[in-house]
Amino acid sequence: MLTISLVTLLALAMLLGSGVWIAYALLGTGWIVLTLFFPLPAGAVLASDFWGASYGWDLTALPMFIWMGEVLFRSGLANNMFQALSPWLGRIPGRLLHSNIIGSGLFAAVSGSSAATCATVGKMTLPELQKRGYDDNLAIGTLASASTLGLLIPPSIMMIVYGVVTEQSISRLFIAGVGPGTLLLAMFMTYVIGWSLLVGNRTGGSGQQEPRLPLVQKLRGSLQLIPLLALIGGILGSIYGGLASPTEAAASGVLLSMLIARINGHFNLAIFKEALFAAVRTSCMIAFIIAGASFLSSAMSFTRLPMDLATAIGAMGLSPAMLLVVLTLFLLVLGCFLDGISLILLVTSIIMPVIVAAGFDLIWFGIYLIIVVEMSQITPPVGFNLFVIQGLTGRDIMSITRATVPFFLLMVLAIVLISMFPSIVTYLPRIMSG
């Protein structure tokens, strides 16, 4: 058993480190394990797992939400959000720094992608914040961190992937993300307010005082948010109210996003094709990784490593709290080298027996796992949001990382809070299911 464990870990590490696609690394590891240690037709297992991982109805929501996000990415929505939000933020400590947080939260709710949120909102807000004299580090930190909420605030691509591979209700996962997502938004804004009162106002990092606008002008500008809020409310309301499945809501969201883009004057045949092909590329990549993870999961089940690991951890007598501490540290290390989807699929392939044996609610654990993945988005060397901001600003990775440290610690605090008060996650799914 030790030999199998070492060969599995070594093969996975070598393939991941070689730079091959994540899906090939997962497939290759599973193939090596089955070929070397078991008299099984690896090709037949591979074919069966590929088919089983690719035909699930729940998986059809994935390309729809990705397509919706791609359309909105090209619709000029971020510009409308900034213009609508900025007049209302001038009297709050931190002023327009909150536009990064609120704007990212709103865009995350319709794009479902951390990188798309970071790129879209950042292109609009960072130049404006710099021009108005805001602290560069806090502007970068708020953008990098708040844009990760694309993974948590529904509809989330990560939640669909987790729900498919663990056979959990995607609707309940969506609703479960609302409480923690709102909590993180509030914590980020509270930190910005505190920093502005204690440091920013004294050093000038809180930017220039914005001119006051008449209430009528503020309300007129806020009308630009109505299509976005209607889209968010329609998707979540239809799912929560049982009127539509996530797939049906996603299909409706695609049509509504095209309508919003058309109203904004940013939709034509070329944009339609760009959004469609981008969604196809992303969806195929994710589906390929899911299939690879399914094959690796089958190979691991033959080795009994997950079950033996669960038994070994159970024999250690770790409390659920200590198990979470160990697991969080382990996932953060993995997150430094794997992207979010690969991390979720690798974890669900290997350690889910441990989680089930420890008695964790799998909806709650899914939200916990996504928050940890959010944290990995702002940790080098594979923090996708760091790369996006580096492309936007030209700054080096380590200086961007330092700017995100306070928000990374706030995410750690959020994990502590949902562990102490699990109803933050489970309350809405519980009343949804009656």
Residues 368-391 pLDDT 10s: 999 988 887 787 655 667 777 877
Residue 49 CA, distance from chain mean position: 26
Which tokens in the block code for residue 83? Answer: 């213009």
Q: How far apart are CA 35 and CA 434, in angstroms?
A: 48
- Helix, strand or coil, per DSSP, at residue 318: coil
* Paired residues of 206 in beta bridges: 134
Least confident of 107-111, 134-138, 203-207, 232-236: 203-207
Query: Is the distance from CB of 372 to CB of 335 less than 8 angstroms?
Result: yes
Strand ranges, E, within 168-247: none
Mean pLDDT, range 147-163, rounded to an integer:
81
Query: Is the distance from CB of 336 to CB of 379 less than 8 angstroms?
Result: yes
Q: How far apart are CA 274 and CA 71, in angstroms?
A: 9
Q: Does residue 192 have a pLDDT over 80?
A: yes
| Mean pLDDT of the chain, nearest integer | 80
pLDDT at 410: 93
Q: Does residue 151 have a pLDDT over 60?
A: yes
Q: How far apart are CA 292 and CA 289, in angstroms?
A: 5
Query: Is the distance from CB of 85 to CB of 102 less than 8 angstroms?
Result: yes
- Helix, strand or coil, per DSSP, at residue 134: strand
Which tokens in the block code for residue 179? Answer: 């409480």
Angstrom distances, CA of residue 194 to CA of 143, 187, 197? 17, 11, 5
Which tokens in the block code for residue 214? Answer: 């008449």
pLDDT confidence bin for 197, thresholds 50/70/90: confident
Q: How far apart are CA 293 and CA 165, in angstroms?
A: 9
Which of 428, 426, 75 has the alpha carbon at shortest distance from 231?
75
pLDDT confidence bin for 133, thresholds 50/70/90: confident
DSSP state of 153: S
pLDDT confidence bin for 112, thresholds 50/70/90: low
pLDDT at 2: 63
Q: How far apart are CA 412 and CA 427, in angstroms?
A: 21
pLDDT at 362: 92
pLDDT at 379: 76
Residue 420 CA, distance from chain mean position: 22
Query: Is the distance from CB of 103 to CB of 78 less than 8 angstroms?
Result: yes
Residue 430 CA, distance from chain mean position: 23
Mean pLDDT, range 353-362, rounded to an integer:
84
Q: How far apart are CA 267 and CA 72, in angstroms?
A: 10
Q: How far apart are CA 350 and CA 254, in angstroms?
A: 35
pLDDT at 434: 59
DSSP state of 382: S
Query: Of 340 and 66, which is predicted with more confidence?
Result: 66
Cβ contacts of 44-53, under 8 Å, gap ≥ 24: 45/295, 45/298, 45/299, 46/295, 49/291, 49/294, 49/295, 49/297, 49/298, 50/291, 50/294, 50/295, 52/294, 53/287, 53/290, 53/291, 53/293, 53/294
Q: How far apart are CA 101 and CA 16, in angstroms?
A: 34
> Ranked by mean pLDDT, which of 111-115, 268-272, 281-285 comes out on top?
268-272
Query: Of 333 and 413, which is predicted with more confidence?
Result: 413
